[in-house]
Each structure stands twice: as C-alpha cells, then as structure tokens.
Amino acid sequence: MRSFFKGVRRRIGKLDAEQLREQYNLIADEADFLETLFLTNSEGVIVLDQHGIALRNNPAAETLLGMDVAQALKFLAPRVGEATRREIAISYPEAKTLEMRTVPFKAGTIVYLRDVTAEKKRTEEELRAGATKAVRDLAAGVAHEIANPLNAISLNLQLLERDLPGDASLVTCRQQIARLEQILRSFLQALRPSKPNLLPGSIAEPLKNCLAAMKQQFEERRISVTLDVPAALPKVAIDQNQFEQVYFNLLKNAIEASGEGGRIDIDVLSDDNDDIVTIRDNGEGMSSEQLAHLFEPYRTTKSKGTGLGLMITERIVRDHGGSIGVESKPGEGTLFTIRIPRIERRIRALEQS
C-alpha cells in the first residue's frame, strides 16, 4: 500500500484525467477493503489523534468495553505515541479482562482491545493444577519417609513390651503410634488413590464384614445397630476392600456423632438402576455450613480428626460410577445414601458414552 501511494504521488503531475480516475478507483477499492477489515475485526480498534482524542472506533471496541468509547478512554488512559501493552479488569456489565495494546503511527495512536478472560482463567487453572501436583508429590514423599522410622519404633516397642509387660507408658506409646500409622495411611490414600479392582459382587458383603469387625466399638459405646438386607440383590461391579473402607469411614463417623446409647439404622435396597445403602444415625447432625464443605479434605470438627475420611469415601464411590448423598440437621441426626449402578446399567452407560 505504502509504495503504491508513493508511486502515485511521484507521477501525479504527469497523469491525465483518465489515468487519475483509474488510480482513484483503485484507492477507493482499497479503502473499502480496509474499512471492512476495520469494522468486522473482533479485536476492538480505536484510532486516537496526537492529543489522545478518539477519531473513530469499530463496533467491537464498544462491545468489549460495554460503554461509550469516549467515556471509556477516561479510565483506559492509553499512552499516546507509545507502544504499550497492559491488562484491564472490567467489572461492568460483566466481569472480564481485556488486553490493551497501543501502537503509534504517523498521525496518532491506535488502541487495540482483546478479551483475554478465558485465556487468563485457563492459565491460572493450569498453574494451580501444577502447584497442587507438586505439593501432593512432596507430601506423599514425606509421608513415606515418616512411615519407615515409625515402623522401626513400633518393632522396638514390641521388644520392650516383652521385657516390661503391661507398662502403662509403653501402652500409651503403642496407642499413639497406631494412631500415627492410621493418619499416615489415610493421608497416603487421599493423596494417591488406587484404582478400584471392580468385580461382580454384592454391595452388602463388605458391609457385613465391616460390621463384624466393628462389633466391639458399637458395644463399648452401647450403640444399637440394625441392618436390613433383602434376600435377593442385583449384583454391582465392586471393589470389596475399598467398600469396606467406605462403610468403615461412614460408620466410624456415625459412632463419633452419637452419644452413649445411640442408634444406627442401615438399609440395603435396589431400584431399577442402582443398589442403594442408607446409613442413618441419631447423632449430633450437621449445620448447612458444614454440609456445604462436607467432602472437602481437612474439614473436621474433631480434635483428633483428619478430615480425610469422607473425601476418600466420596472418591471411592465416584470411582465405582456411583453417588453419595447426605441429609442432616443439627441435633436430629444424619442420613448417608450411597448408590452404585447395577452391572447392566453400568455397561449400558459405558456403551453410550
């Protein structure tokens, strides 16, 4: 374009009327083309004169700014005659981030505006995901390092206990170490979940195993437990070990929420799609604030809690293609409902996706 104009300018005195008209038409076509580019560009473009007054702008500029350009220029305050780049946060009519570039040219300055909201959000998310993974790897590494010496201490304690049977300090030490080992186990499980080994089976089987193993805990607290399982139950694809963990976490919470003489009712049932387990306790219940953050890690109301149990539970259920729901009121108790799709439905869902 520039050399074209230079050429015309040099020869203009020598051109006859016909040639002038021809050159004029060429320029008019070119201007029309540039005008179209200007008007249809999705980047906002504002042309400023040497004093920073807007000479013209395209429709995109107004759309991106959400207001009159002359008004917007007051807070945009673009640097006239300088090449710059910066980001501007707009809060009205909607929150977004614009990138503003200024490019000087002979007669003034051009301001370019571009919506970078989505781009910026993506970058932030990528950064956060990266940081989370680094912290997780570090934490898992530290947990492993702690597990080894703990093991050695535990073995040596056993030797000492042989020499000093029933020594109260040693018993306390062993209990505390057992607690540390439990914390490390849940911590590692939360950080590095293992894939479930899904086999056709019953949703009630691991529940029965878990109840048998916890019998003493119920008796100590005089908590009565009822279990209702139908004679025939459709099979689900299930990792029995992981589900023992699910039931253990939920029942342990139910015990801890219930006072002496509390009550836990467990029902197993099925509908057209799912096998369902409900666990109801008449314990202290939860407020709606607690419920809002229930499955997040490290949320605990207990002095000796880890706040990892429900997070692990939710993940195991999710890995089984199922869902977990909770209803609770302070002072009235809590109801957890677990649903796992029946095998036929799971296969159908997979075929569709």
- Residue 20 tokens read as 């002038």
Q: Which is nearer to ligand ADP, 57 or 242 (CB)?
A: 242
Residue with tokens 């009712």: 265
Residue with tokens 């030490």: 173
Distance, CA of 65 to chain centre: 30
Q: What is the DSSP letter of 68?
A: -
Residue with tokens 């939360």: 190
- At closest approach, how far in Å is the CB of 305 from Mg ion? 6
- At closest approach, how far in Å is the CB of 244 from Mg ion? 15
Q: Please give the Cα distance from 152 to 195 (Å, whole number).
A: 29
Residue with tokens 């504002």: 46
Q: Is 277 within 8 Å of 203 (Cβ atoms)?
A: yes
266 lies in the site for ligand ADP, by CB under 6 A: no
Q: Which is nearer to ligand ADP, 99 or 265 (CB)?
A: 265
Stretch that binds ligand ADP, among 68-76, 153-161, 236-244, 304-312 (CB under 6 A): 304-312
Q: Which is nearer to ligand ADP, 36 or 301 (CB)?
A: 301
DSSP character string of 4-57 = HHHHHHHHGGG--HHHHHHHHHHHHHHHHHHHHHHHH-SSEEEEE-TTS-EEEE
- Out of 257, 264, 266, 316, point to the residue binding ligand ADP (CB under 6 A): 257
Q: Interface residues with Mg ion (CB under 5 A)?
A: 253, 309
Where does residue 62 fall: left (phi above 0), alpha (psi -120 to 50 degrees), or beta otherwise? alpha
- At closest approach, how far in Å is the CB of 138 from ligand ADP? 22
Q: Which residues pair with 201 in a beta bridge?
A: 236
- At closest approach, how far in Å is the CB of 144 from Mg ion? 23
201 lies in the site for ligand ADP, by CB under 6 A: no
Q: What is the DSSP letter of 342?
A: B
| Cβ contacts of 238 within 8 Å, gap of 6 or more | 196, 198, 199, 200, 201, 202, 203, 206, 320, 340
Q: Which is nearer to ligand ADP, 202 or 282 (CB)?
A: 282
Task: Report the amino acid identity of residue 206.
Answer: P
Task: Report the amino acid identity of residue 217.
Answer: Q
Stretch that binds ligand ADP, among 89-97, 124-132, 213-221, 253-261 (CB under 6 A): 253-261
Q: Which does 190 bind (CB under 5 to 8 A by kind): Mg ion, ligand ADP, none?
A: none
- At closest approach, how far in Å is the CB of 253 from ligand ADP? 3
Q: Which is nearer to Mg ion, 225 or 254 (CB)?
A: 254
Closest CA to 60 of 118, 119, 115: 115
310 lies in the site for ligand ADP, by CB under 6 A: yes
- At closest approach, how far in Å is the CB of 299 from ligand ADP? 6
- At closest approach, how far in Å is the CB of 148 from ligand ADP? 24
Give the x-and-dash track for 274-303 against ligand ADP (CB under 6 A).
-------x-xxxx---x---x----xxxx-
- Residue 317 tokens read as 């259920």
Question: Which parts of 317-346 interact with ligand ADP (CB under 6 A)?
Answer: 334
Q: Is 85 within 8 Å of 98 (Cβ atoms)?
A: no
Strand positions, DSSP E, 2-123: 44-48, 54-57, 84-90, 96-105, 108-115
Q: Which does 64 bind (CB under 5 to 8 A by kind): Mg ion, ligand ADP, none?
A: none
226 lies in the site for ligand ADP, by CB under 6 A: no
- State the residues that interact with ligand ADP by CB under 6 A: 249, 253-254, 257, 281, 283-286, 290, 294, 299-302, 305-311, 334
